[in-house]
Amino acid sequence: MRLGKVYLVGAGVGKIAYLTVRGHQLLTQAEVLIYDALVESDLLTLVPETCLKLNVGKRGGLPSTDQRTINQLLVAYCLQGKQVVRLKSGDPLIFGRVNPEIEALQQANCPYELVPGVSSALAAPLFAGIPLTDKNLSRCFAVVSGHEPDLLDWQGLSKLDTLVILMAGKTLGEIVAKLQEQGRSHSEPIAIIRHGGSSQQQVWISTLGDIVDQIAGVALSPAIMVIGEVVNLRMIDASSRPLDGQTVLVTRAAEQSSQFTLMLQQEGAKVIEMPALEILPPSSWQELDTAISQLSSFDWLILTSANGVKFFFERLYHLGHDVRALGGIKLAVVGKKTDSVLKNYGLKADFIPPNFVADSLVETFPESLTNKKVLFPRVETGGRDLLVQELQKQSAQVIEVPAYQSGCPSKIDPEVWQALQQKTVNIITFASSKTVQNFYQLIKQELEANYLEAIPAILERVQIASIGPQTSKTCYELLGRVDIEATEYTLEGLTDALIKKQLIL
What is the C-alpha separation between 11 and 36, in angstroms, rounded?
Answer: 10
Q: What is the pLDDT at residue 270? A: 87
CATH 3.40.50.10090 at 247-279+409-504, yes or no = yes
Is 36 considered catalytic here?
Answer: yes
DSSP H helices in 242-381: 259-266, 286-293, 306-318, 336-343, 359-363
Active site residue 58: yes
| Dihedral pair phi/psi, residue 107, rounded to 5° | -65, -30
Mark out the alpha helices in 422-490 (DSSP H runs). 433-447, 451-458, 469-479
Q: 55 with 87: CB under 8 angstroms? A: no
Residues sharing a CB contact under 8 Å with residue 448, sequence separation 6 or more, in sequence order: none
Closest C-alpha to 277, from 412, 471, 156, 148: 412
Among the listed residues 79, 101, 72, 76, the one whose alpha carbon sits nearest the alpha carbon of residue 9:
101
Q: Is 167 a catalytic residue?
A: yes
List, edge to edge, every strand of the sheet that includes 52-55. 52-55, 32-35, 83-88, 5-10, 112-115
Helix 99-107 and helix 67-79: axis angle, to 10°?
A: 40
CATH superfamily of the domain spanning 5-118:
Tetrapyrrole methylase, N-terminal domain (3.40.1010.10)
One of 91, 167, 244, 501 is an active-site residue; which one?
167
pLDDT of residue 82: 95
Q: Fold identical between 247-279+409-504 and 286-406?
A: yes
Are 148 and 205 in contact by the 8 Å Cβ rule? The answer is no
For 73-135, the three-class secondary structure string (H helix, E strand, C coil) is HHHHHHHCCCEEEEEECECCCCCCCCHHHHHHHHHCCCCEEEECCCCHHHHHHHHCCCCCCEC
Q: What CA dihedral angle connects 214, 220, 225 and 231, to 10 degrees? A: -40
What is the C-alpha separation between 358 and 333, in angstroms, rounded? 9
The active-site residue out of 5, 15, 42, 58 is: 58
The reported pTM is 0.53
Beta bridge partners of 426: none
Task: Report domain extents, the chain.
Answer: 5-118, 122-233, 247-279+409-504, 286-406
pLDDT of 503 reads 58
CB count in 10 Å sphere of residue 27: 24
CATH topology assigned to domain 122-233: 3.30.950
User: Topology of 286-406 in CATH?
Assistant: Rossmann fold (3.40.50)
Q: Average pLDDT of each block of 10 consecutive residues along the chain (505 residues)? A: 90 86 96 85 87 80 78 95 94 91 96 96 92 94 94 95 94 95 95 80 89 84 92 75 86 74 87 90 95 95 92 94 92 87 91 76 89 93 79 92 92 91 92 93 88 86 92 95 92 91 64
Cβ contact 391:398 at 8 Å: yes
